[in-house]
């Protein structure tokens, strides 16, 4: 489950351009590795991030994991539904399970993210 039209990070986040904003979530692979999510610590709206900054934490019964900003950006919106239903990420990581939206994001930085093909290769090398 690696949808086309998205960009990916080596830390298993995905990013999608939607209008003038950049939408962020974690990949199917990441949510599967974590197991059933029990908590999502949403970032504050207005938070300014550099590429690679730890942005928030997702927790499951197995582990807690940081989620990183894919590019320099400012948090414009968060998915409040995750506060009460973090399992949305497990059920629909590329749709209803989105985590946050960025404004003022680095369009050049987006070019440094992985294509779907490159992300598939990363997963294959991790499982080898």
Provide the residue ranges of all domains of the chain, joining segments of one domain with +.
7-122
pLDDT one-digit tens code per residue, 95-115: 999 999 999 999 999 999 999
Output the DSSP codes for the chain: ---TT-EE-TTSEEEEEETTEEEEEE-HHHHHHH-SEEEEEPPPTT-EE-TT-EEEEEEESS-EEEEE-SSSEEEEEE-THHHH-TTHHHH-TTTTT--EEEES--HHHHTTSBPHHHHHHHHHHHH-
Q: Assess whether pLDDT exceeds 80 at residue 85.
A: yes
- 7-122 is classed in which CATH architecture? Beta Barrel (2.40)
Q: Share the mean pLDDT of the chain.
A: 96
CA-nearest of 17, 30, 1 to 110 is 17
Write the burial class of residue 63 (CB in 10 Å: 0-12 exposed, 13-18 middle, 19+ buried).
Answer: exposed
Q: Considering the entire predicted model, what is its pTM?
A: 0.95
């Amino acid at each position: 489950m690696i949808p086309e039209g998205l960009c990916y990070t080596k830390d298993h986040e995905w990013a999608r351009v939607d209008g003038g904003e950049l939408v962020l979530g974690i990949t199917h692979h990441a949510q599967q590795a974590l197991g059933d999510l029990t908590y999502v610590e949403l970032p504050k709206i207005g938070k300014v991030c550099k590429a690679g900054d730890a942005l928030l934490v997702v927790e499951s019964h197995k582990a807690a994991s940081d989620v990183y900003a894919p590019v320099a950006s400012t948090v414009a919106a968060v998915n409040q539904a995750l506060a009460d239903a973090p399992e949305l990420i497990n059920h629909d990581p590329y749709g209803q399970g989105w985590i946050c939206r960025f404004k003022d994001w680095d369009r050049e930085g987006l070019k440094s993210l992985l294509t779907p093909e490159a992300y598939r290769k990363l997963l294959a090398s991790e499982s080898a």
